[in-house]
Structure 1
Amino acid sequence: MEADLSGFNIDAPRWDQCTFLGRVKHFFNVTDPRTVLVPEWELDWAKVMVEKSRMGTVPPGTRVEQLLYAKKLYDSAFHPDTGDKMNVIGRMSFQVPGGMIITGFMLQFYRTIPAVIFWQWVNQSFNALVNYTNRNAASPTSVRQMAVSYISATTAAVATAVGMNTLTKRAPPLVGRWVPFAAVAAANCVNIPMMRQQELIQGICVKDRNHNEIGHSRRAAAIGITQVVISRITMAAPGMILLPVVMERLEKLRCMKRIRVLHAPLQVLLSGCFLIFMVPVACGLFPQTCELPVSYLEPELQDTIKAKYGEPVPYVYFNKGL
């Protein structure tokens, strides 16, 4: 029996995005690492199905399950603002396979300066690509800004890691294992604001409840970028804080001392276990579409809103990006 799709809205969220649990379920779906293996032709099919559903021209016999699967693939592989297909490494669905490898090796090879510099450089290269891929397309980023962001974040990460490595040489071994997390946190505080500095300079687009553009707000941009920084640090924190404790104890076992060659693969695997849960949890910490009281906006933008609507507008809305 053919399903009735007349009232189906493919852009309506399957889970309540006003609740933390609803957002986590949504991002578990979108960041599913299995979608990285989906072939290009299937992603193109998903885009066509989503676009046809929006226009109300879905082929006869199409089931709701097919449309939901198409939307899952579309959200995982296509930019929400432009609709362009994103590069594989920059997709949030690649955070688990990409992040687990880099995190595992950062935590394993933290003792020597060359290893610290190399893996921090690899991590910041990965982060820069992710930040660029998931940028707010309404605020274009120049090549020069991307280069400055990349160099600044890499410098901050390497300087933090090398500096703390030097300071913690006489500290307990566990303290030295936490140095990579400190470097990652410091770099995120530099990389994301630098990569999205145009939003801080020109403001981010804010809209009313009917999705009508009102103007651009620098304060909204600052709030959105701060939330993204917190989410990224939260994403890395459990694995990079708890995993060193686990490895510190495991490496004291007699059997682990015999198989040192497996320490790095084990850390990679355990990092993946943390990231499978932490990627959707961190992405779901804050709503993707932020609600901001008008009183928080710049005075001139508040005046513009009053003049345009002639009545009190309590909130504006903006997309903070990932």
Structure 2
Amino acid sequence: MASAIPGPRNLPESAYDLDTYWGRVLHSAEVSDPRMLLVTKSQLEKSKDLVYKYKNNEIKSMTPELWHAKLVLDSTIHPDTGEPVLLPFRMSSYVLSNLVVTVGMLTPNLGTIGTLFWQIANQSLNVAINTANANKSHPLTTHQLLTSYGLAVSASCSVALGLNAIVPRLKAVSPNTRLILGRLVPFAAVVSAGVVNVFLMRGQEIRKGITVYDQDSAEPLGTSQRAATFAVGQTAISRVINATPIMVLPPLILVRLQKKFKFSPRSELFTNLSLILATSFIALPFALGIFPQKCSLDVKHLEDKFKDIKSSSGHAVKKVVFNRGM
């Protein structure tokens, strides 16, 4: 993100009002725009240079070129490290990276082997995205990473296989309801494992705290466990919200279409792919806009050590900000 570029002058957070839901939706649509994947190394360096000049008062006001430079950095650079996020795990690649595994998970009548394969593939992708985009105050060790990955895979596979075995035995519901419930099994598996994944992968942040900054001066003030709990909790909720439209709407629409039209295996795959792709591009910004990426908290909600804290310039700190992570 552009906030990783050093300088005494802060950039505007966005061209949109991030205090409003619609502003965050529009901002998220820009940051998750797949066209940002086409940014070259020279364009990235040019964007860094422009933002640096603004933050160090060499450029006096925001221009369309500077707004674009900020967008390039926000969609490419990790806010804590200042380094580019690996391309498949950036927000601008979110829809494309998830497309294959989502289509795989939502394929009807997968069977046990297919269910296991696609749940493992999905959790592998989730771990990679979590690791690449998480708050870097306390990076996980390899052992912690592998443990979290194993538990997340176990959770998703257990839920998916368990529900696949239970749903057909629900005799008290109609065949149509069983069909719909069966199509929603991947959603239940993804959501449950996603929440487990977030808390396992980022448990170190909750135990040790994350760095918080003065909202006015961007000066680091120390680490806070309460801020970390807030950040990780919001991220877990956002995972459920992000998954809901993509994992729920396409299978329900496909069930309705299958009742009206006779699909060949190829046309069913194409229809499923189209539904997931369209839903992902349309729904993702609305889901991402639920919570701001850069969180703000009043110091009264933090530990006692922050209650009367002052910045290096001597003013009393009222609010802190921190990177929520993804």
What is the TM-score with the length of structure 1 in the denominator?
A: 0.87
Corresponding position: 1:180 with 2:180: no
1:252-291 paired onto structure 2 within 5 Å: 252-256=259-263, 259-291=264-296
User: Which of residues 290, 294, 301 in structure 2 aligns to 1:296?
Assistant: 301
Distance 2:169 2:44 in 1: 52
- For 2:5, the equivalent position in structure 1 comes to none
Percentage of pairs with the same residue: 36
**Alpha-carbon contact 2:211-2:221 (below 8 Å) kept:** yes
Please list every run of 5 or more consecutive structure 2 residues that lacks an aligned counterpart in the other structure: 1-8, 171-177
User: Which of residues 214, 231, 234 in structure 1 aligns to 2:238?
Assistant: 231
User: Which of residues 191, 199, 205 in structure 2 aligns to 1:193?
Assistant: 199
1:42-81 paired onto structure 2 within 5 Å: 42-57=43-58, 64-81=63-80
Distance 1:9 1:315 in 2: 16
- For 2:255, the equivalent position in structure 1 comes to 248
Distance 1:150 1:228 in 2: 17
Distance 1:220 1:153 in 2: 24
**Alpha-carbon contact 1:92-1:130 (below 8 Å) kept:** no
Deviation for aligned residue 1:289: 2.5
Distance 1:107 1:298 in 2: 44
For residues 292 and 307 of structure 1, do their structure 2 counterparts lie closer, same or farther at Cα, with a shift above 3 Å needed? closer
Per-residue CA deviations over 1:7-36 (Å, capped at 9, x if unaligned) read x97544211111111111111111101222
- For 1:37, the equivalent position in structure 2 comes to 38
Deviation for aligned residue 1:76: 1.0
Q: Secondary structure at the match of 1:35?
A: helix
Per-residue CA deviations over 1:284-310 (Å, capped at 9, x if unaligned) read 2112222223333234x35xx426589
Please list every run of 5 or more consecutive structure 1 residues that lacks an aligned counterpart in the other structure: 1-7
Per-residue CA deviations over 1:207-240 (Å, capped at 9, x if unaligned) read 3333233322212111111111111211110121
Per-residue CA deviations over 1:46-69 (Å, capped at 9, x if unaligned) read 3333334333456xxx99222222
**Alpha-carbon contact 2:310-2:317 (below 8 Å) kept:** no
**Alpha-carbon contact 1:207-1:214 (below 8 Å) kept:** yes
Amino acid at match of 1:26: H
Distance 1:67 1:307 in 2: 34
Deviation for aligned residue 1:190: 1.1
Distance 1:306 1:223 in 2: 21
Distance 1:294 1:55 in 2: 29
1:97-136 paired onto structure 2 within 5 Å: 97-136=96-135
For residues 289 and 240 of structure 1, do their structure 2 counterparts lie closer, same or farther at Cα, with a shift above 3 Å needed? same
User: Which of residues 294, 306, 319 in structure 1 aligns to 2:323?
Assistant: 319
Per-residue CA deviations over 1:64-120 (Å, capped at 9, x if unaligned) read 222222222221111112210111111011111122222122111553011111001
**Alpha-carbon contact 1:110-1:180 (below 8 Å) kept:** no
**Alpha-carbon contact 2:310-2:316 (below 8 Å) kept:** no
- What's the Cα RMSD here? 2.5
Amino acid at match of 1:185: V
Q: Secondary structure at the match of 1:200?
A: helix
Q: Secondary structure at the match of 1:251?
A: helix
**Alpha-carbon contact 2:108-2:183 (below 8 Å) kept:** no
Q: How many residues align?
A: 307
- For 1:15, the equivalent position in structure 2 comes to 16
Amino acid at match of 2:69: A
User: Which of residues 287, 304, 308 in structure 2 aligns to 1:306?
Assistant: 308
**Alpha-carbon contact 1:185-1:233 (below 8 Å) kept:** yes
Distance 1:88 1:311 in 2: 41
**Alpha-carbon contact 1:105-1:264 (below 8 Å) kept:** no
Distance 2:144 2:285 in 1: 29
Q: Secondary structure at the match of 1:215?
A: strand
- For 2:220, the equivalent position in structure 1 comes to 213
Deviation for aligned residue 1:168: 0.9
Deviation for aligned residue 1:314: 4.7
* Greater displacement, 309-318 / 230-239: 309-318
Amino acid at match of 2:23: G
What is the TM-score with the length of structure 2 in the denominator?
A: 0.86
